[in-house]
C-alpha cells in the first residue's frame, strides 16, 4: 500500500507541474502582525523622520531612525548566518536647485541584500520609506510620526526580511528603506542610479507606500482591497519601439504592467480572500512614489498600497480642527491589513526569486494565417515554458498552455489578430517568471 502511494506521488511529480507550493503558504503564515505593530510604533517614536531632521540624536530624527533600521537588518542577518549584506547607500542633495530642500544633506538609504544562490546579479526589490513629513515639507522639527506614510512600508520591508531570510532563493532579494521621498524621490533616484552603475539585472521593485489604512476619508472601510499601480510602457523606450507598438500592439503590456499582472495572479492564487486592483497608471493622479525613479531608468516597478486613503491623516501636523483629528498617528494603522499587504510582497518576491529568468527574446508570427507561432530563447534552469494569451480587452493573462523540451510552438486555430500573447519560464516546482510580451516579429 505504501509502495503504491509512493509510486503515485512520483508519477505526479514527473508528469505535472505543481499549481501551488506549500512554501508560499508558510511564508504567508509567518508574517507577524505583532512585530509589524512594534516596528511601526518604534519608527513613530523618533518624533520626526523628515530627511532634513536631526542626524546626531540617538532618540529623535532621521539619523536615529536609520541607525535603528540598519541594526534591525543586522540582527536579522545574525540569525541567518550573515545572509544579509547590510549597508548605507547615500547621495548628497543641495538646497540650491531644489525647491523643497531646506538645507544641504545626505539622503541615506538602508539596504539589505539577500544574495541569490544561482543568479546573484538578478534582484527583486521591496522598498518602504524611512522619511516622514509634517504639513510643511520644509519643516524638519515638528512631530511627524508618519505611521502609515510610510512607517508601514518600512516595517514591511523589515518583516519580509525576517521571514524570507529563513529560505534560500536562486535570485537575490533586496529589502530597502529609502529616504528623501517627500522632497523629490531622492532616495529612489539614488538607488536606481546605483543599480544602473553596478549593472544589476532588476526583475522589479515593489514599492510599498502606505499599506496600513483601511478607512477612507469618506468613511468606506475595506480591509481586503489594495491597489497595484503600474505605468503602461517604459518612459525611455525608443522611437522605433513606440512606432512598432502602433502596428503590433503592446500599449498596455510594458514591463511594469507585466510585473503588476504577476502580483495580481500570485495573490489570486494564494490569497483569494484579497481583492487586488490593478490600476493602469504610474501612480495616483498627479502624485508620486519611489518606484518612479526606477521606471525612469527603464526598470520594472510598481506601487503597492491601500485602496482607501485618508487625507486628514497624510502630511498633516497633529492637531484637532473642527472636531477632526489630523495627523498620521499610530492608532490609525490597521496591522492586520498591513500584514496582508506585506504577505503580498513576500510571496511575490519568493516566487520571483525562485523562478528561472524570463526569456529575453520572444518572436511572434502568424500574419494572414489561421494559427499563431511563437519562438523564444532557451533559459537555463527552465523545465518548461508557459504560453499565455488573452482577449485584447482583458487585463489578465486568462489562457495558457504549458510546453516542455521546445522553444517554439504553434497554437493551432488561435488567430494572432484576436489576442495578445506572452511567454513565461517555469521551473520544476512550478515557479514562473514574469510574462514577456513579444519583442520580435517572424515573417
CB of 173 to Zn ion, least distance (A): 25
Binding to Zn ion, residues 257-296 (CB under 5 A): none
Could you give the C-alpha distances from 9 to 3, 14, 21, 78, in angstroms and in order?
10, 9, 15, 38
Q: Are 108 and 189 in contact (CB under 8 A)?
A: no
Interacting positions 310-329 with Zn ion (CB under 5 A): none
Question: Between residues 149 and 283, which has the closer beta carbon with respect to Zn ion?
Answer: 149
- What is the per-residue binding string for Zn ion in 334-373, x denoting contact by CB under 5 A? ----------------------------------------
Q: How far is the CB of 315 from Zn ion (least distance, A)?
A: 6
Nearer to Zn ion, 149 or 427 (CB): 149
Nearer to Zn ion, 65 or 343 (CB): 65
- Regarding beta strands 419-426 and 324-326, do their DSSP bridges make them parallel or antiparallel, or are they unpaired? unpaired
Residues 380-399 that bind Zn ion (CB under 5 A): none
Please, what is the minimum distance in Å from the beta carbon of residue 124 to Zn ion?
Answer: 24
Rounded-to-integer distance, Cα 331 and Cα 359, Å: 46
Size, binding site for Zn ion by CB under 5 A: 1
Give dist(CA 297, CA 398) in Å, integer. 30
For residues 327 and 430, which CB has a smaller minimum distance to Zn ion in the complex? 327
Q: Please provide the distance, in angstroms rounded to a whole number, between the alpha carbons at the two ends of the chain.
A: 56
Q: Outline where 209-320 has alpha helix (H).
A: 239-248, 255-270, 292-296
Identify the CA nearest to 424 among candidates 442, 405, 400, 392. 400
**Identity of the residue, 54 or 149, whose beta carbon is nearer to Zn ion in the bound complex:** 149
Q: Return the SS3 of 2.
A: helix
Closest CA to 212 of 261, 155, 174, 143: 155
Give the nearer residue to Zn ion in terms of CB position, either 143 or 237.
143
**Smallest separation, CB 90 to Zn ion (Å):** 21
DSSP, res 176:
E
Between 17 and 217, name the residue whose CB sits nearer to Zn ion.
Answer: 217
Q: Which is nearer to Zn ion, 150 or 171 (CB)?
A: 150
Nearer to Zn ion, 284 or 373 (CB): 284
The C-alpha cell that represents 389 in the structure block: 494569451
**Interface positions, 43-82, toward Zn ion (CB under 5 A):** none
Distance of CA 232 to the CA centre of its chain: 16
Q: Are 333 and 40 spatial neighbours (Cβ–Cβ below 8 Å)?
A: yes
CB of 146 to Zn ion, least distance (A): 7
Residue 133 CB, shortest distance to Zn ion, in Å, is 6
Q: Between 149 and 159, name the residue whose CB sits nearer to Zn ion.
A: 149
Characterize 65-102 residue by residue with b for buried, 16 or more Cβ atoms within 10 angstroms of its Cβ, and e for exposed: bbebbbebbeebbeebeebbebeebbbebeeeeeebbb
CB of 182 to Zn ion, least distance (A): 5
131 is a site residue for Zn ion (CB under 5 A): no
Mask for 136-175, x = binds Zn ion (CB under 5 A): -------------x--------------------------
264-28-433 Cα angle (round to 5): 45
- Least CB distance to Zn ion at residue 211 (A): 13
For the record, the C-alpha cell of 18 comes out as 505543481
Phi/psi at 70 (nearest 5 deg)?
-60, -40
CB of 165 to Zn ion, least distance (A): 28
Sign of the Cα torsion 190, 191, 192, 196 reads: positive
Name the residue whose CB lies closest to Zn ion.
Answer: 149
Q: Closest separation between CB of residue 254 and Zn ion, Å?
A: 25
Binding site for Zn ion (CB under 5 A): 149
Amino acid at each position: 500500500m505504501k509502495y503504491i502511494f509512493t509510486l503515485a506521488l512520483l508519477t505526479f511529480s514527473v508528469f505535472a507541474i505543481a499549481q501551488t507550493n506549500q512554501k508560499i503558504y508558510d511564508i504567508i503564515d509567518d508574517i507577524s502582525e505583532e512585530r509589524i505593530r512594534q516596528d511601526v510604533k518604534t519608527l513613530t517614536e523618533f518624533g520626526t523622520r523628515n530627511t532634513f531632521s536631526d542626524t546626531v540624536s540617538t532618540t529623535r530624527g532621521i539619523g536615529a531612525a536609520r541607525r535603528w533600521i540598519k541594526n534591525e537588518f543586522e540582527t536579522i542577518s545574525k540569525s541567518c548566518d550573515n545572509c544579509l549584506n547590510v549597508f548605507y547607500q547615500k547621495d548628497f542633495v543641495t538646497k540650491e536647485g531644489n525647491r523643497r530642500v531646506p538645507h544641504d544633506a545626505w539622503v541615506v538609504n538602508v539596504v539589505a541584500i539577500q544574495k541569490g544562490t544561482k543568479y546573484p546579479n538578478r534582484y527583486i526589490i521591496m522598498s518602504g520609506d524611512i522619511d516622514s513629513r509634517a504639513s510643511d515639507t520644509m519643516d524638519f522639527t515638528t512631530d511627524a510620526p508618519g505611521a502609515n506614510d510610510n512607517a508601514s512600508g518600512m516595517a514591511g520591508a523589515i518583516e519580509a526580511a525576517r521571514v524570507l531570510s529563513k529560505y534560500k532563493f536562486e535570485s537575490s532579494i533586496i529589502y530597502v528603506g529609502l529616504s528623501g521621498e517627500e522632497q523629490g524621490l531622492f532616495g529612489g533616484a539614488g538607488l536606481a542610479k546605483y543599480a544602473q552603475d553596478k549593472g544589476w539585472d532588476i526583475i522589479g521593485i515593489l514599492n510599498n507606500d502606505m499599506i496600513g489604512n483601511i478607512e477612507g476619508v469618506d468613511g468606506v472601510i475595506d480591509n481586503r482591497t489594495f491597489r497595484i499601480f503600474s505605468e503602461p510602457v517604459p518612459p525611455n523606450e525608443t522611437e522605433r519601439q513606440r512606432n512598432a507598438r502602433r502596428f503590433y500592439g503592446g500599449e498596455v503590456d510594458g514591463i511594469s504592467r507585466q510585473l503588476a499582472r504577476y502580483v495580481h495572479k500570485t495573490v489570486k492564487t494564494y490569497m483569494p480572500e484579497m481583492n487586488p486592483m490593478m490600476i493602469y497608471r504610474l501612480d495616483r493622479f498627479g502624485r508620486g512614489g519611489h518606484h518612479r525613479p526606477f521606471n525612469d531608468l527603464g526598470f520594472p516597478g510598481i506601487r503597492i498600497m491601500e485602496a482607501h486613503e485618508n487625507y486628514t491623516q497624510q502630511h498633516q501636523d497633529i492637531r484637532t480642527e473642527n472636531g477632526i483629528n489630523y495627523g498620521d498617528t499610530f492608532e490609525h494603522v490597521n496591522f492586520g491589513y498591513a500584514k496582508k499587504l506585506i504577505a503580498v510582497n513576500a510571496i511575490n518576491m519568493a516566487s520571483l526569486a525562485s523562478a528561472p529568468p524570463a526569456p529575453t527574446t520572444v518572436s511572434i508570427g502568424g500574419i494572414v494565417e489561421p494559427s499563431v507561432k511563437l519562438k523564444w530563447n532557451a533559459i537555463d534552469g527552465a523545465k518548461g515554458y508557459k504560453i499565455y494569451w488573452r482577449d485584447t480587452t482583458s487585463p489578465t493573462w486568462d489562457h495558457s498552455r504549458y510546453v516542455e523540451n521546445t522553444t517554439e510552438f504553434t497554437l493551432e486555430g488561435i488567430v494572432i489578430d484576436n489576442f495578445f500573447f506572452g511567454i513565461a519560464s517555469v521551473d520544476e516546482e512550478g515557479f514562473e517568471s514574469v510574462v514577456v510580451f513579444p519583442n520580435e516579429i517572424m515573417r
